[in-house]
Structure 1
Amino acid sequence: MPVPVPELGTYNYVPETKEQLDWAELVTVDLAAFNTPEGKKQQADILIAAVREKGFFYVKNFGISQERVDRQFALGKRFYELPLEEKLKYVPRGLDEGQFNGYVPAGRRVIDQENNIRDQIEIFNIPKFNGDFDHSHHPAVVAEKLEEVEEFARSLHSEVLDPLYVLLAIALELPEDYFTNIHKYEVKSEDHLRYMRYSKYPPEINAKLSNWSYGHTDLGSFTLLFRQPVAGLQIRYPSTNEWKWVKPQDATLTVNACDALQFLTAGYVKSTVHRVTVPPKDQQHVDRLGLLYFSRPHNDVKLDTIKSPLLEREGYTENEFESGGNPVPTMEEWTFAKQKWQRSKARVSGYETATILPGFNEKVYA
């Protein structure tokens, strides 16, 4: 007989740190103002300034209740409580070749070469529910709640991402549906919902570490990060190269712009470098559970510079591929090229740059 799956119950967040950290100054996009032309224009101005200057911002009033968010955190917690041998059944075939949907175990990256310390990061990715991906092979704790997971993922599109893409189009003087038309849920793309756990290290290991993950950029359009109070996320200010902590804000999402938008706008939008560093001492005794959603253009979208009146006036007309006379990749080609590089190279440290595709060298940041 099948083993009954218990209800999710409540999810209890740990207290925020009491340490005084050097927090990033980030603006907030308010989607409550989205329903009027004046409100749209105002929020579009806020958004474009954010993705130009720092690449990160907060979003509030996005129409998804905290109860629904808490249930997703509880589901992620339940998944990570499974025995390792059970989780390993869901490692994707071709993980080293760039496949990423399913379970990615910890320990694949050396984050401190001198002391041979490996990461303790676990990932579980759930792709779109649009018919392009197989959802028949999930652990029972997820399979039992799959309709709820689908509803949550779809609501992120309609309630958060679509409005943000409309605001971005307005800011770039494009038709309002420009970006929503290349980010439709029904069309194949490598979007995914992610439950992510950074397991705690003992104090003597934390004392040797600089960070829990290296600085990197995300490869899609927007990444949505739900509030969780274990401080660790830091962003690298593009103008000064300073690292700043990102403060968890009540009733908000943290959003960052990613590689695809940087390519599509020839660098006008910044794909900001970020990392997870060692948490403050009053939070180092707990695991850090993350709930994220990665939004990406359709697989067949070519990542050449869009024809925007604003970009053309400002002189942003060629991205890295175009300026070097190299083939411009599709989103699918970029996704799997970068994922393959991350899977193969990220197991060891010590390298500085790597050519992912002709015309683009990925940098590695401490």
Structure 2
Amino acid sequence: MQSLPIISVAGLNSPDPADRARVAAELGRACREVGFFYVVDHGIPAERIQRAFGDARQLFELPLRDKQAMSIKLSPHNRGYVAMADERLNPRAGADMKEAFNIGTEFAADHPDVVAGKPFRGVNFWPELAQWRDRMLTYFNDCLELGRLLHKGFSIDLGLAETHFEEHLAEPVATLRLLRYPASAHKEAREDAGAGAHTDYGNITLLATDEVAGLQVLTRQNEWIEAPYVPGAYVCNIGDCLMRWSNDIYVSTPHRVRPPKRERYSIAFFLEVDPDAIVDPRDVVPNAEPKYPPVTCGDYLAARLNATYAHRQPGA
């Protein structure tokens, strides 16, 4: 049975161009063939990842009224608490049995983009838990730096300047999402009751998981395969925006989460680019006929999110 490739990305930091090219080629192969891979030797300390899981558990153990006070329904910028069954990643299949908490790029309330009300440029909600905010922002920045490193690899693989995506990742639309899936009490629950079958919307997703099984990936042979826990590794997948930007050279792959037999936690980091960045395939593959018209990252992401949350208004 097919399995996801495991890629060491340490070579992307090497001063030797041959080392960087070798890792980039591995990334490119995975991005073209399956759109999913494991990332190891990424440089994020294991204890910092485990601490983030502890903080997630602390957040979800808060009383519901405290979590609802930070509801995503109160934010037009995709930040805050998502209650159980509030989300439908596959609207035709029904509600997802999970709760979540979204943390976006941190901006002060007086930041010009926040004052101007620009999409995805709002303030975060923070629970009243000691040092919780500081620890989460540290982990957020760890993931952001890893995401930037992977984009360096994509640039090399696509034959672009190594810094091609760098200018678009200065203040990106990035979301750190804490997720809790309760143990399923129903033997007849649908296969994707944890999270409906879907593709991700942005450039890449970095996923840290606990040891409870659940994530499945749809292969090109139309078979669902398990993405098992690999100690110390992130599961990385290509999102729809990068697939569009690469003119379908890279593939965004459907995946789902089965209802777990026991409580399951995961932490996803969704990385897009700056909201005003123009996503235009002609910038990446200039000699090919573009399959998609140019669009800003912010407009594209807003259109996708509007379809996910029933309570959202157009443009929110």
How does the TM-score come out when normalised to structure 2?
0.87
Q: Which runs of 4+ in 1 moved over 6 A?
A: 110-114
Residue identity over aligned pairs, in percent, reads 25
Task: Say if 1:304 and 1:319, in contact at 8 Å, map to a contact too.
Answer: no
SS in 1 for 2:134: helix
Cα offsets for 1:69-93 (capped at 9, x unmatched): 0100000000011111111100134
**Inter-CA distance 338–112: structure 2 relative to 1 (3 Å threshold):** closer
Instruction: Report the Cα offset of residue 130 of structure 1.
Output: 4.7
C-alpha distance in 2 between matches for 1:92 and 1:179? 29
Instruction: Report the Cα offset of residue 157 of structure 1.
Output: 2.2
Residue in structure 2 matched with residue 183 of structure 1 by the alignment: 169
C-alpha distance in 2 between matches for 1:271 and 1:334? 15
Instruction: Report the Cα offset of residue 112 of structure 1.
Output: 11
Identify the match of residue 67 of structure 1 among 24, 27, 47.
47
Q: Say whether residues 1:38 and 2:18 are aligned partners.
A: yes
Task: Say if 2:88 and 2:95, in contact at 8 Å, map to a contact too.
Answer: yes
C-alpha distance in 2 between matches for 1:126 and 1:272? 24
Residue in structure 2 matched with residue 125 of structure 1 by the alignment: 102
Superposition CA RMSD, Å: 2.6
**Correspondence list, 1:346-357, <5 A:** none
SS in 1 for 2:210: coil
How does the TM-score come out when normalised to structure 1?
0.75
Cα offsets for 1:184-210 (capped at 9, x unmatched): 2xx2x32111111111121xx232423
SS in 1 for 2:144: helix
C-alpha distance in 2 between matches for 1:127 and 1:153? 9
C-alpha distance in 1 between matches for 2:229 and 2:7? 15
Cα offsets for 1:221-256 (capped at 9, x unmatched): 11000132111111111x212111111111111100
Identify the match of residue 201 of structure 1 among 181, 184, 190.
184
**Inter-CA distance 70–26: structure 2 relative to 1 (3 Å threshold):** same
Instruction: Report the Cα offset of residue 100 of structure 1.
Output: 2.0
Point out where structure 1 has 5 or more consecutive residues left out of the alignment: 1-21, 323-327, 347-355, 358-366
**Inter-CA distance 243–287: structure 2 relative to 1 (3 Å threshold):** same
Task: Say if 2:217 and 2:256, in contact at 8 Å, map to a contact too.
Answer: yes
Residue in structure 2 matched with residue 299 of structure 1 by the alignment: 275
SS in 2 for 1:343: coil
**Correspondence list, 1:252-267, <5 A:** 252-267=233-248
**Correspondence list, 1:160-239, <5 A:** 160-184=146-170, 187=171, 189-202=172-185, 205-212=186-193, 213-237=195-219, 239=220
C-alpha distance in 2 between matches for 1:299 and 1:111? 22
Report how many residues are paired.
Answer: 299
Which one has a bigger Cα radius of gyration? 1
C-alpha distance in 1 between matches for 2:211 and 2:301? 30
